[in-house]
Amino acid sequence: MPFNELRIRHVVIRPAHILAPMAGITDTVFRRFIKRLGGCGLIMTEFVSSEGMLRHNPRSERYLYYTEEERPITAQVFGADPDHLAEAARLIEDLGFDLIDLNLGCPAKKVVKCGGSGLLRDLPLLKVIFEKIRAAVTIPFTIKIRIGWSDQEIVAVPLARMAEDCGVEAIAVHGRTRLQGYSGRARWDVIAEVKQSVRIPVIGNGDVMTPRDAAALWEQTRCDAVMIGRAAPSNPWIFRQMEQYFRGGTYGEPTEADRYRLIRDYYTLLVAEETPGALGKMKQFASWFTHGVRNGAELRRSVQSAVDCQQVIDRVDEFFGARLAWSASSCGRANAHAGR
């Protein structure tokens, strides 16, 4: 069965389904929420700046907050100064994270200047960074890359080999270049090439939206784990669905009542945890989560114009409350007809 289990040294990832790090999305509340739905073997923090960490920037410290129920958990760091990255890695280990990951994929202009996918163009500097981080920590050290800067500069294979030689213990490959941004298709053929070139585990990432996509990724690349990004906020059940699909060839679809419960639970947790920017997160989540929901545009509009968190919750209650009452009563009528 694909993606049954992955071990990165002593860390057991079971099933080998990983929630991709996503800045602004995969905070502690979202991660716990995904974890509770089941089927996700590893979660990661949003990326954290090594420079911010060393300055004790409150935002960086907030990004590194996690709870025990989130284990195993990876902290993802970005930066370009080898000594600062090593120092940040030490702090991450001291905070009790199970793994540390280095971001080599972020395409944002602001980040590229000081790390992220910018480092894909400087393999000699990357080698120094790998060696310094490796020497600084004892926890497993992983990296997450894009396949290169541009179609003319695909470096995934030499980079993966160098990483392996420097003691990196797993590599997640998002099959796009930096210049591609999120356009076009992820190149799973390059993920397959990386898989054939190294002995360390390779985690496939990019454009897996359904359990069938995950099966196709495995068929095409034989990668050791699958990482899911954008599909997770619109379908947080995808991890459990993959588990069901690989076990029995089918998977369940959530009902309207499941959707209602899920959005309600997520919002309640955001408020209870006094999450900074909770209102914005609610609106963002509503816009993803209601795609594919009947009359979802109506809910999106009404949530977007809400002025505070309670109003968002009230509008969600109104929307789903009315629909569920309607379907319960039409179901009642149908039963009454059937009984005649």
Ligand X SMILES: Cc1cc2nc3c(=O)[nH]c(=O)nc-3n(C[C@H](O)[C@H](O)[C@H](O)COP(=O)(O)O)c2cc1C
With CB under 6 A as the contact rule, the residue among 140, 204, 229, 236 that binds ligand X is 229
Q: Which stretch binds ligand X (CB under 6 A): 200-208, 281-289, 310-318, 328-336?
A: 200-208
Would you call 106 a catalytic residue per the annotation?
A: yes
Note whether 22 binds ligand X by CB under 6 A.
yes
Chain-centroid distance, C-alpha 255? 24
With CB under 6 A as the contact rule, the residue among 11, 13, 18, 20 that binds ligand X is 20
> Smallest gap, in angstroms, from Cβ of residue 329 to ligand X?
39
With CB under 6 A as the contact rule, the residue among 31, 32, 132, 174 that binds ligand X is 174
Note whether 46 binds ligand X by CB under 6 A.
yes
C-alpha to C-alpha distance for 246 and 93, rounded to whole angstroms? 34
> Smallest gap, in angstroms, from Cβ of residue 210 to ligand X?
11
Strands 73-78 and 43-44 come out as parallel
- Which residue bears the tokens 């911010």? 52
C-alpha to C-alpha distance for 215 and 244, rounded to whole angstroms? 12
C-alpha to C-alpha distance for 92 and 85, rounded to whole angstroms? 10
> Smallest gap, in angstroms, from Cβ of residue 299 to ligand X?
21
| Nearest C-alpha neighbor of 40 from the set 64, 69, 66 | 69
C-alpha to C-alpha distance for 130 and 330, rounded to whole angstroms? 62
Q: Which stretch binds ligand X (CB under 6 A): 15-23, 58-66, 193-201, 288-296?
A: 15-23
Q: Which residue is nearest to ligand X (CB)?
A: 229
Chain-centroid distance, C-alpha 203? 12
Note whether 25 binds ligand X by CB under 6 A.
yes
Q: With 0-12 CB in 10 A as exposed, 13-18 as middle and 19+ as buried, what is 292?
A: exposed
Cβ neighbours for 197, distance < 8 A, ≥ 6 positions apart: 157, 160, 161
Note whether 62 binds ligand X by CB under 6 A.
no
The residue (of 209 and 309) whose beta carbon lies closer to ligand X is: 209
| Nearest C-alpha neighbor of 98 from the set 60, 130, 62, 66 | 66
With CB under 6 A as the contact rule, the residue among 230, 269, 296, 317 that binds ligand X is 230
Marked catalytic residue, from 40, 106, 166, 223: 106
Note whether 205 binds ligand X by CB under 6 A.
yes
> Smallest gap, in angstroms, from Cβ of residue 146 to ligand X?
8
The residue (of 160 and 313) whose beta carbon lies closer to ligand X is: 160
| Nearest C-alpha neighbor of 200 from the set 143, 269, 145 | 143
Interacting residue ranges for ligand X, rule: CB under 6 A: 20-25, 46-47, 76, 103, 105-106, 144, 174, 205-208, 228-231
The catalytic residues are 106
